[in-house]
Structure 1
Amino acid sequence: MRVWIVFLLCLAGHAMAAPAEEEPALEELVTEEPAEEVEVGANPVQVEVGEFDEAIEVVEDAAENPCLNHRCKKGKVCEVDDTNTPMCVCQDPSSCPAAEGEFEHICGNDNKTYDSSCHFFATKCALEGTKKGHKLHLDYIGSCKLIEPCLDNELTEFPLRMRDWLKNVLVTLYARDEDNNLLTEKQKLRVKKIYENEKRLEAGDHSLDLLARDFQKNYNMYIFPVHWQFGQLDQHPADGYLTHSELAPLRAPLIPMEHCTTRFFEECDADKDKYIALEEWAACFGIKEQDVDKDLVI
């Protein structure tokens, strides 16, 4: 997912204020280049290697292997039936590649650690149609551990750091984007105003008081970053609402670092309908109702 790549690219370039209980800061989320994600259920062209100096690539015809052009969602793989028709079936977790290290571990909301995302989604697929399978979601990246409860005063601090982080993620993207692969031209025009503003608070380890004062003084700088992040997450489908799965690329890596993440997003869903609308999202970050603009999401 593009948003996932974008966030991993930028996290190392922005320093955040340390949380109250000495939690790791948001920018510590990634300290090395992430491994390229291999889509679960992919059916790559095989390469046969004989007693030759070079491998011989075997190019398969889609007519011979209909699965070549048949995509399956995570947790499923393509197989053909008796009529050579491709279909998606649940992947056997035992067929998943062995995890290369603990960094591939996934914690489910069942408080169980899965070796990798492949193992998790294959397990979830096997439970399709059951109450347990419906409730099972990816909770966060990493092995399951004790997540301290988020206190009320800590909950009010979380959006201060998050807003500042989003603003500086965009500034970092703007500074690195030479080929418009990270931001569109319209987005770059909006971020340029933030980037060139002399009043912009530079990325760094700032106190919560300073972050709060900056939000009041330079409120307009935060409006677009909040809308931009909503648009990056609202992809499947792009309907103006964020589901639990759409939030996953943002919340899953944050939870081990910021223990208020889960409670924050739960309370963003003000009407408790399991969807976060743009208006609810903006309100969570302190954006005034009159400044909510769906055109900024695109």
Structure 2
Amino acid sequence: MRSLWLLLGLGLLALSHVQASTDIADELLDEDLDLSDIDENEEEFLRLLEEKNKIKDIERENEIATKLAEVQHNLLNPVVEVDLCETMSCGAGRICQMHNEKPKCVCIPECPEEVDTRRLVCTNTNETWPSDCSVYQQRCWCDSGEPGCTNPDNAHMHIDYYGACHEPRSCEGEDLKDFPRRMRDWLFNVMRDLAERDELTEHYMQMELEAETNNSRRWSNAAVWKWCDLDGDTDRSVSRHELFPIRAPLVSLEHCIAPFLESCDSNKDHRITLVEWGACLELDPEDLKERCDDVQRAQPHLLG
């Protein structure tokens, strides 16, 4: 900033010297200076001319000071255009656009064309869509009654799992009996992997370290971590919607995940408490130390 002011000051100073030299010649012909009334004495003439130049210099200095003040004001108080859409959340399938100088959420007009089959998604209506964007867009169109809606019922559809729709495999017998163990191991391995990549908050990291050094806390800490992580609205229960991040990626890989999660909701109220979560993972309720307050109060801080 100091360099900027120095360059600006030198530039204006040089400009004032050039103008001063030009103005002296102009002032000799200035109508305000009546040369017929000046004594032929050269000293008197020079004195009057010097006074005239001093007045001009003062006026010029005031003009320069005013310009500098304007520049300083603009630097310290820049005009910032606020994008009202930046602070507006529209949700999946919608974007913010300005209408009559006001932000408004509208259905996303176009989804990227997907050629990767890994981007395919299967909805709860057992219909394959090219991407999650196309599902959310269709849901928005149907919810808003727009021409792009192919079926009014699509206003309530959601992604069931990633990948093309397929015939569900039954989970029974030994597969179903052994799944809680596989689920516990999977939760702990995911937690460990995130810790190794420094992608856990400080409190999650402490829980993972405790699980590493205390075998009695190995599975229970991983279970509590994931349950707290899924409880996005912090109401001490996990809804079907909040289960999406754990269900959708696994359905096409693990055929027992859907019936397992259904079994966790023992009272069929469409919500899973920590006690229910621990029970379906076959954990001792005494080992489930509820630490969500500590976790959720913690500021996100990646270690490492």
Q: CA offsets, 1:118-152, max 9 Å, x none?
A: 10111122233898346422100011112212214
Match of 1:267 in 2: 263
Matched pairs, number: 209
Match of 2:140 in 1: 125
Gaps of 5+ in 2: 1-79, 146-151, 296-304
The sequence identity of aligned pairs, in percent, is: 33
Match of 2:92 in 1: 74
For the 8 Å contact 1:75–1:118, the answer to whether it is kept is: yes
For the 8 Å contact 2:139–2:157, the answer to whether it is kept is: yes
Question: Relative contact order (C-alpha < 8 Å, sep 6+): which is higher?
Answer: 1
One of 250, 257, 276 as aligned partner of 1:254: 250
Match of 2:238 in 1: 242
For the 8 Å contact 2:221–2:288, the answer to whether it is kept is: no
Structure 1 residue 189, shift from structure 2 partner: 2.9
CA RMSD in angstroms comes to 2.3
Tell me which structure has the larger Cα radius of gyration: 2
Structure 1 runs of 4+ off > 4 angstroms? none
- 5 Å-filtered alignment, 1:192-207, equals 192-196=209-213
In structure 2, what is the Cα distance between the partners aligned to 1:270 and 1:62?
Answer: 53
Match of 2:179 in 1: 158
Q: CA offsets, 1:226-252, max 9 Å, x none?
A: 0001111111x1221212221111110
Equivalent position SS for 1:245: coil
Gaps of 5+ in 1: 1-60, 198-217
Structure 1 residue 196, shift from structure 2 partner: 4.0
- Mark the CA change 1:133 to 1:294 in structure 2 (over 3 Å): closer, same or farther: farther
Match of 1:284 in 2: 280
Letter in 2 for 1:263: P
Return the structure number with greater helix share. 2
| TM-score of the superposed pair, with normalisation by structure 1 | 0.64
- 5 Å-filtered alignment, 1:41-60, equals none
For the 8 Å contact 1:174–1:188, the answer to whether it is kept is: yes
Match of 1:211 in 2: none
| TM-score of the superposed pair, with normalisation by structure 2 | 0.62
- 5 Å-filtered alignment, 1:206-221, equals 218-221=215-218
In structure 2, what is the Cα distance between the partners aligned to 1:289 and 1:129?
Answer: 46
Match of 1:47 in 2: none
Q: CA offsets, 1:258-277, max 9 Å, x none?
A: 00111111111111111111
In structure 2, what is the Cα distance between the partners aligned to 1:62 and 1:284?
Answer: 53
Match of 1:183 in 2: 200
In structure 2, what is the Cα distance between the partners aligned to 1:272 and 1:193?
Answer: 33
For the 8 Å contact 1:224–1:296, the answer to whether it is kept is: no
Structure 1 residue 89, shift from structure 2 partner: 2.0
In structure 2, what is the Cα distance between the partners aligned to 1:271 and 1:134?
Answer: 28
